[in-house]
Amino acid sequence: MGYTYEYFQKSADYVKSKVDFTPEIAIVLGSCLGPFAQQIEDPITIDYKDIPNFLVSTVASHAGKLIFGTVCGRKVVCMSGRFHSYEGYDFEQLVIPIRLFKLLGVKTVILTNASGAINTGYRPGDVMILKDHIKLNGHSPLRGPNVPEFGPRFFDISNMYTPELRKIALECAKGTGLRVHEGVYMFFTGPQFETPAEIRAARILGADCAGMSTVTEALTAAHCGLPLLAMAVVTNMGAGVLDQPLTTDEVDETAQVVAGPFSEYMKKIVAAI
Ligand code: HPA
């Protein structure tokens, strides 16, 4: 379907009527990384289902709330729960949250996710700052009539993961105890995990982590010129790397262990941006 500028404005008008400040930084929390939301001071919470023209989360580990507040003295909005194409959304619908942030006046977007390591030098619990991505399947979220108020029809994405923000994130990693890499994220549609052959193919193509999110939001941010930082938490080795099947329990367990140190790391980044 073709969305108009007014369609997105309707969501923004509702949210602006509930929050009396402009958030500077928008943070999208990936699967099981929700505990960061507890760091938000003086929170104002809005359920996705109350926002006109918005979407609703269908994944159990995704809360489905926008949380506005302060982290390290900075005004933020946090998406606790995100939307994926595997839930049944069209790729074109996945622009909605990032365009809302743009209309709210956000200046920086931080995306986080849980992912499987393709790079055999990575370990569960590591963090990868995205320096680039590979998306060879599924539509672009920018498919359909362009909405020129957000950005041009055709646009360059050679440096869409903002180099200055990557530098800050690398710098902030020091002293956190986390192993932080820079690498390439490969988008898979899910909801099934990848096959071992897909992971091997992805490695040959130059990917370091595999996941089912982030890239659609990242492309939307790039289209409307929003500075962008994206970080993947390695919750498991990709399919076939170890001689064992992948389980969601493994993903959830690692995410739970990493959530604390990762939240601290995120706070440092928010303070440094
Ligand atoms: N593949 C895709 N998405 C994921 C994975 C994975 O191995 N782990 C967590 N999210």
Cβ(113) – ligand 1 distance below 6 Å? no
β-bridge partners, 79:
28, 66
Q: Using the mean position of ligand 1's atoms as its centre, give its distance from the Cα of residue 33 in Å.
A: 14
How far apart, in whole angstroms, are the C-alpha atoms of residue 217 and residue 82?
A: 10
Q: Which domains does the chain have, with CATH numbers?
A: 5-272 (3.40.50.1580)
Phi/psi at 135 (5° precision)? -135, 100
CA distance 81 to 164: 27
Low-confidence ranges of the chain (pLDDT < 70): 1-2, 32, 59-63
Nearest Cα neighbor of 103 from 147, 50, 150 is 150
Cβ 213 under 6 angstroms from ligand 1 = no
CB-ligand 1 contact for 187 (6 Å cutoff): no
Atom of ligand 1 nearest to the CA of 116: 7
259 C-beta neighbours (distance < 10 Å), count:
18
Q: What's the pLDDT score for residue 193?
A: 96
236 within ligand 1 shell (Cβ under 6 A): yes
Q: Is 198 in the pocket of ligand 1 (CB under 6 A)?
A: no
Q: What is the pLDDT of residue 162?
A: 98
CA of 115 to the centre of ligand 1 (A): 4
- Atom 3 of ligand 1, nearest CA residue: 211
Could you report the per-residue pLDDT of 104-163, keeping only the tens digit for each?
A: 999 999 999 999 999 999 999 999 999 999 999 999 999 999 999 999 999 999 999 999
For residue 133, how far is its CA from the centre of ligand 1 (angstroms)?
A: 15
Cβ(108) – ligand 1 distance below 6 Å? no
CA distance 74 to 85: 31
Q: How far is the CA of 138 from the centre of ligand 1 (A)?
A: 17
**Helix H or strand E encompassing 233:** strand 228-237
Region at 240 (left for phi over 0; alpha for psi -120 to 50; beta for the rest): left
For residue 7, the CA-to-ligand 1 centroid distance in Å is 33
Q: Is 210 in the pocket of ligand 1 (CB under 6 A)?
A: yes
* Closest to 238 (Cα-Cα) out of 125, 153, 124, 147: 124
User: Other C-beta atoms within 10 Å of 3: how many?
Assistant: 17
Instruction: Report the relative pairing of strands 74-80 and 65-71 from DSSP bridges.
Output: antiparallel
Answer for the pair 81, 64: CB distance below 8 angstroms, yes or no: yes
Q: Which residues pair with 69 in a beta bridge?
A: 76
- The answer to whether the CB of 97 is under 6 A from ligand 1 is no
**pTM for the model:** 0.96
Closest Cα partner for 37 from 263, 268, 253, 208? 263
Give the pLDDT score at 253.
87
